[in-house]
A and B are shown apart, each in its own frame.
Chain A
Amino acid sequence: MKVPENVLGLSKRKKARKLPSFGLLLTYRKRVVSALSSHIPNSTLLSDTLLDLQENCFPFFYIIFRTFQSLLLRAYLMGISDEKVVAVIMVGGPTKGTRFRPLSLNIPKPLFPLAGQPMVHHPISACKRIPNLAQIYLVGFYEEREFAMYVSSISTELRVPVRYLREDKPHGSAGGLYNFRDLIMEDNPSHIFLLNCDVCCSFPLPEMLEAHKRYGGMGTILVIKVGCRGDLYFLLSFGLILVSLQVSAESASEFGELVADPVTNELLHYTEKPETFVSDRINCGVYVFTPDIFTAIQGVSSQRKDRANLRRLSSFEALQSATRNPPSDFVRLDQDILTPFAGKKKLYTYETMDFWEQIKTPGKSLKCSGLYLAQFRFTSPNLLASGDGTKSATIIGDVNIHPSAKVHPSAKIGPNVSISANARIGAGVRLISCIILDGVEIMENAVVFHAIVGWKSSIGKWSRVQASLTYGEAVTVEDEVVVTNSIVLPHKTLNVSVQDEILL
């Protein structure tokens, strides 16, 4: 087996560099080794190269290496096959995401910006790392025009075809996939990724695919162990309405809990949102399947159709029960596929050690924005702003500022701040842990703290907006007003201070 030239060449060029920190190096070395060995097992030549890498690489090299990782994989895979992969991202629809109000009143939730990019952009750009990616499909029941602009611009940007497929009605996540099976199978892919749009994670998709191939099952689920993840991320020092610091074992029942074989990683048991504790491993909502999944969905669907027909024949109450039971084309992935197929050597799990969050509420979006910003440190440091207050504003921690936004040099921004297009940040403004959306104006000496400021809103001089509140569009906060722990719906003007209120 041959190792691509570029990897070897790279390692030689970097050979002369000094090691900055031995401890740090060790951590990265382990990760590089494990990542690589999972891709290309039993490669002695590669092991030699790795040894060489281990002795000479330095932390920056890891970042560069991660970028080259997919290239390496692609080169490797192209040598043995030209299997195609497609990705399907479930984006939901306008009747979903109500918990995301008032922000979802103006914009489909999947397009709400996190770390300066639409929510759906993060899984899409993660898909870009999949070798032999042929197509990305967004499946949902929003109107086409809501996604048209985004889909066309992202296709050009990533140079991967992205298409929006509209469901006539909700079919469930498996049903939605099945509904568009002909389109999805158009390129005759060997594997299909299925991602939920409202999860925030590092999406280790190429790694998942490799694991999936090793397992040889029908599908592999991304899972995470709850209660022991990464760093505690304190979103709200005020800790008022949105106390969702971390997924703890107690709150695990909001998710699908699963049990996997510790050796083979086979999915042994799956329960969606159990009332009692089942497991500390939860479903991340990211899957990879072989096309066999369609047969499985069809099986569930026809089984259900038969049952409905049987009932209609046997009972006069069939009409009523038909409304109570889900229609035959509504197939949930979790209850209808994962639960029955668990323990049948069909489904396997891949555990992520990185971050994972579900983006259900506006407060969560603030936290997830912060997680993505932190990830930019490794993946796209060019997206993070810097400055010390001389020529540009003082920047603390991870901050993303859109190039068209104007920020006064005397302002102090960060950590965890993202500022969208055409926002104007005045002199002496302080922004901490917030999302500033398009066209917002923040006037002199104002303070915005743990907040989301909606499109075209205006925050007056010496005003203070604090503690987990979210704004709809075009809200005006007049000078010197304090808005604490409140939710303000679009087109309101606040001329007096408010605390703990929802302003309709």
Chain B
Amino acid sequence: MDSSIYRQIGTCITMKALILVGGFGTRLRPLTLSIPKPLVEFANKPMILHQIEALKAVGVTEVVLAINYQPEVMLNFLKEFEAKLGITISCSQETEPLGTAGPLALARDKLIDGSGEPFFVLNSDVISEYPFKEMIEFHKAHGGEVSIVVTKVDEPSKYGVVVMEETTGKVDKFVEKPKLFVGNKINAGIYLLNPSVLDRIALRPTSIEKEIFPKIAAEKKLYAIVLSGFWMDIGQPKDYIAGLRLYLDSLRKKSSTKLATGHHIVGNVLVHESAKIGEGCLIGPDVVVGPGCVVEAGVRLSRCTVMRGVRIKKHACISSSIIGWHSTVGQWARVENMTILGEDVHVCDEIYSNGGVILPHKEIKSSILKPEIVM
């Protein structure tokens, strides 16, 4: 498949990508108290691997992670994937936050190799059907400096809206959180940039969306491609669970063999091959069960992610929640409404958690009736 892309594009060069990993991932706490956000599993795969694999598929050979927190952890983890995927992964560590554009200037030497080929820039929080192949074709066709991906949203007033020519994709202007409707397409955080863009960025805290792109758009050198598939910023738990539904939906359309089947399965469910499911369970829709999990008899799971090594005891009922690594949920416990269990949390028998956010290594012995954080 890769080679066919190269034939279509007419080149056979090595491409590069920069992934903006950023900081502490505070919005995804308590999960990110245990590991860096890009390594938090999404559908049984670390979030960043979804992006790296998609980049590899279109011929990217070198990925730079712009990171300002725990680069060693990341690199150690990604080492095995470097070999497996045949891709070079390096880190560009910020010593101070540089915004969304600054890291590009910082990684300038890693991104420029003289070939003049465009490179990808991705926001690490974004999960979608990455349209990298279409972007490359689109970029070559319009001949501008920058290609960005835009996606339609229901409530554009919450985002930066991209005003563009529908036919050519030429971007007219960016409007940040518009009060009046100017369009419903927003910046999806996926870009393809010519190396020349780097000349526009100084090594200081800068926003690529607010400072760099508007200037390029004004010069009519910025084009947008509309995303056809799903898109979700999964930086926070609510969106993580919503994103999972979209991802599993798209997985159903592409290759349903990965999804679990059986009379105890409802809708789209992903169960790791090493997980065990007991008698009389009902699982789904939109559930992911991680490796080594034990789901005992009579358990009900819906709209939730159960991370590696979790044990769900008999007759428990979990919905709209994330169960962190190696946690346990007791018999007849009820866990729901955006309950997030950090790593190694133990919910005792018969306990009810309505929206509890539980930090790692806690034991929950009394019910949580209203959403609250348990330190």
Contact = CB atoms under 8 A, between A and B. Distances in A.
Interface of A: 237-238, 410, 412, 427-430, 432, 444-445, 447, 449, 461-462, 464, 466-467, 480, 482, 484-485, 499
B367 A464 contact: no
Given A238-B369, A428-B280, A428-B314, A445 B300 contact: yes
Given A428-B315, A430-B315, A449-B350, A461 B300 contact: yes
Contacts of B125: none
A466 B352 contact: yes
A447 B300 contact: no
A430 B332 contact: yes
Given A410-B298, A482-B334, 5 more contacts: A428-B297, A432-B350, A461-B300, A484-B352, A499-B354
Interface in B329-375: 331-332, 334, 336, 350, 352, 354, 366-367, 369
B317 interface: yes
A430 B350 contact: yes
A484 B317 contact: no
Given A427-B280, A464-B317, A482-B336, A444 B298 contact: yes
A480 B332 contact: no
Contacts of A484: 352, 354, 369
Interface string B290-304: 000000011110100
B319 interface: yes
B336 A445 contact: no
26 contacts: A237-B366, A237-B367, A427-B280, A428-B280, A428-B297, A428-B314, A429-B315, A430-B315, A432-B350, A444-B298, A445-B299, A445-B300, A445-B315, A445-B317, A447-B315, A461-B282, A462-B315, A464-B317, A467-B369, A480-B317, A480-B319, A482-B336, A482-B354, A484-B354, A484-B369, A485-B369
Nearest to A485: B369
Contacts of A447: 315, 332, 334, 350
Contact of A428 (B298, B302, B334, B367): B298
Contacts of B317: 445, 462, 464, 480
B200 to A, nearest CB: 53
Which DSSP category, helix, strand, loop or mixed, fits chain B's interface? loop
B24 to A, nearest CB: 34
B369 A445 contact: no
B366 A427 contact: no
Contacts of A499: 354, 369
B298 to A, nearest CB: 4
A464 B300 CA distance: 12
B106 to A, nearest CB: 49
Centre residue among A237, A238, A462 by max chain B CB count within 10 A: A462
Nearest to B336: A482
B285 to A, nearest CB: 12
Interface of B: 280, 282, 297-300, 302, 314-315, 317, 319, 331-332, 334, 336, 350, 352, 354, 366-367, 369
Contacts of B367: 237-238, 466
Nearest to A432: B350
A146 B315 CA distance: 41
A49 to B, nearest CB: 50
B334 A464 contact: yes
Contacts of B280: 427-428, 444-445
B51 to A, nearest CB: 35
A467 B352 CA distance: 11
A461 B316 CA distance: 11
A501 B238 CA distance: 26
A427 B334 CA distance: 17
A445 B279 CA distance: 12
B300 A462 contact: yes
A412 B331 CA distance: 11
A447 B313 CA distance: 14
B87 to A, nearest CB: 44
Nearest to A466: B352
A412 B332 CA distance: 10
Contacts of B331: 430
B348 to A, nearest CB: 12
Contacts of B297: 428
Nearest to B369: A484
A499 B371 CA distance: 13
A467 B336 CA distance: 17
B284 to A, nearest CB: 12
A478 B300 CA distance: 14
Contacts of B282: 461-462
Contacts of A445: 280, 298-300, 315, 317, 332
Nearest to B298: A428
Nearest to B333: A447
Contacts of B350: 430, 432, 447, 449
A412 B366 CA distance: 19
Nearest to A447: B332
Contacts of B314: 428
A480 B366 contact: no
A293 to B, nearest CB: 51
A467 B334 CA distance: 14
A480 B282 CA distance: 11
Contact of A480 (B298, B300, B352): B300
A427 B280 CA distance: 10
5 closest residue pairs by CB, A with B: A428-B298, A430-B332, A462-B300, A462-B317, A428-B315
Centre residue among A445, A461, A485 by max chain B CB count within 10 A: A445
A410 B314 CA distance: 10
Contacts of B319: 480
Contacts of B352: 464, 466, 482, 484
B327 to A, nearest CB: 20
A151 to B, nearest CB: 41
A427 B369 contact: no
B313 to A, nearest CB: 11
A48 to B, nearest CB: 54
B322 to A, nearest CB: 18
Contacts of A462: 282, 300, 315, 317
A394 to B, nearest CB: 11
A481 B56 CA distance: 45
A480 B319 CA distance: 9
Given A238-B367, A480-B319, A427 B298 contact: yes
A160 to B, nearest CB: 43
B365 to A, nearest CB: 10
Contacts of B354: 482, 484, 499
B266 to A, nearest CB: 11
Contacts of A430: 315, 331-332, 350
A223 to B, nearest CB: 37
Nearest to B367: A238
A461 B298 CA distance: 10
Contacts of A461: 282, 300
A456 B276 CA distance: 37
A47 B369 CA distance: 59
B224 to A, nearest CB: 41
A484 B300 CA distance: 19
Nearest to A463: B317
A181 B277 CA distance: 71
A56 B301 CA distance: 59
B84 to A, nearest CB: 41
A449 to B, nearest CB: 7
Contacts of A428: 280, 297-298, 314-315
Contacts of B300: 445, 461-462, 480
A482 B334 CA distance: 9
A503 B369 CA distance: 19
Nearest to A500: B369
B236 to A, nearest CB: 23
A410 B331 CA distance: 12
